[in-house]
Amino acid sequence: MSNILDLSIGSHYLGLCDEIGILEQEVLKLPQLELPPTHEFCDNLYARTIILPKNSIIIGQIHAHDGFFIIRYGNCHVTTDSGVQHLFTGDMIVTKKGTKRALFMLEETMITTVHHNPTNTNDPEELWSFYVDSGVPQ
């Protein structure tokens, strides 16, 4: 499992997305978990929370907009544009537009991401299509 720790050392961030893509291809060969998130809404904000089991590897989508990434409890290794960070309960980082992350859970970990909700919709599918960069020009 230590390969995830070598993903971003000395890599330019755009190259990191390619390296995470290679990891993602390998991870997709393994049994997949169904981990439905919970969704919370308030005035022009959307929070998406997921609980991830110990030793799981998670590959995120490419983000189309900036948002917050918060460790509610637990700890994990997370790829960032400045290398792999070890995040703990209470840590928060900014996920910038264009970011794709790989995560390795060192223990059960609850993560919440917080996003701007410009239309104030309560439809998670509509928000997902807004926040995930499909690579198709809009």
> Is 54 inside any structural domain?
yes
pLDDT > 70? residue 92: yes
* Residue range 51-76: mean pLDDT, rounded: 91
In angstroms, the CA 52 to CA 50 distance is 6
> Is 137 inside any structural domain?
no
- Nearest residue to 56 via CA among 82, 77, 86: 77
For the chain, give the mean pLDDT.
Answer: 80
- Only one residue has tokens 């410009």, namely 118
The residue segments making up the domain with residue 68 are 2-131
Read off the pLDDT of residues 93-136 as tens digits, 9 standing for 90 and up.
998 888 888 899 999 999 999 999 999 999 988 887 777 766 54
> Is 136 inside any structural domain?
no
In angstroms, the CA 1 to CA 3 distance is 5
Chain center to CA of 92? 12
> Is 138 inside any structural domain?
no
- Read off the tokens for 61: 């989508």
Report the domain count for the chain.
Answer: 1
Give the phi and the psi of residue 125 in degrees, each rounded to 5.
-65, -40
Q: What does pTM read for this prediction? A: 0.77
CATH code for the domain in which residue 116 is found: 2.60.120.10
